[in-house]
Every structure is written in C-alpha cells, then in structure tokens.
Amino acid sequence: MATLEELTTEATAEIEAAKPMYKQVNNERLEFSSADYDQAITDLANSKWDTQQFGYVQARVEAYGSVQDQLDMQYWDGVNGTTTWADHIAQVKSDNPKPS
C-alpha cells in the first residue's frame, strides 16, 4: 500500500501533466492560481488515499448482494448441506481485500 506521501507525489505528477487547468468563476474561464494547483494536488492525493484505504468497503457492499439473496443462499445451504453462502462471502472478501 502506498503512503500518503507517495500518493501526493503521484498526484503532483498528474496535476503537472494536466496543466494548464481552468476554473469558472462569474462566467469567466480562468487558469488556476498557484494556490489552486496546490489545493488540486491535495484533493487528488486525498481522493487516492480514500480509494485505497476505504474503497474495499463499498466494493464489498455491492458484491455481497442483497440480504434477501444471502438469506436465500443460507436457506438452500441448510436444505442441501452446501456452503454456497460462506463461499460467496469468502470470495467477496478475497476479491476486495482490506488494506493492511
């Protein structure tokens, strides 16, 4: 996992490559000021950090499926003696690992 400093370096390179960047204020299109560029680097680095550290949460929520579907899996596991639900949960966790 990258550190915030490493992600900031990455963000700095991306913002440098994206220059010139523009903002719209009072229906005027103006180039970013030096402070705007600095803030853009901070925002991009923080965005990368959030995705790295917490992206797995939403990915897991989406991959788990609905509670109804999971209950259905558990019902049929009980009837058939299978482990479909446990296997599914394990696979989702494995596919979307929590950052160490």
Partner 1 sequence: MAGSLIKIDEEIVTSAVASVTLGGSDWDSSYDVYMVKVNNIQTDTDTARFQFRVTTSGTPQTDANYDRATKLLLAHTTFGNVYNVNQTNFDIVGSMGTATGEQSNLVMYCFNFNNASEYSFGTIETVDFGSSARIQGQQGGFVKTTTEANDGLHFYMTTGNFTSGSTFTLYGLKK
| Least distance in angstroms from the C-beta of 40 to partner 1 | 7
Does position 14 interact with partner 1 (CB under 8 A)? The reply is: yes
Answer yes or no: are the C-beta atoms of 74 and 48 closer than 8 Å: no
Q: Is residue 15 within 8 Å of 37, Cβ to Cβ?
A: yes
Give the interface segment with partner 1, choosing from 2-10, 21-29, 73-81, 91-99 (CB under 8 A). 21-29
| 26 counts as binding partner 1 under rule CB under 8 A | yes
In this chain, which of 7, 40, 49, 85 binds partner 1, going by CB under 8 A?
40
54 versus 76: smaller Cβ distance to partner 1: 54
Our finding on whether 67 is near partner 1 (CB under 8 A) is yes
Q: Which of 2, 4, 52, 64 binds partner 1 (CB under 8 A)?
A: 64
Q: Quote helix, strand, coil % in the chain, to nearest 5.
A: 70, 10, 20
Phi and psi torsions of 29, nearest 5°: -100, 115
CA distance linking residue 23 with residue 69, whole number of Å? 46
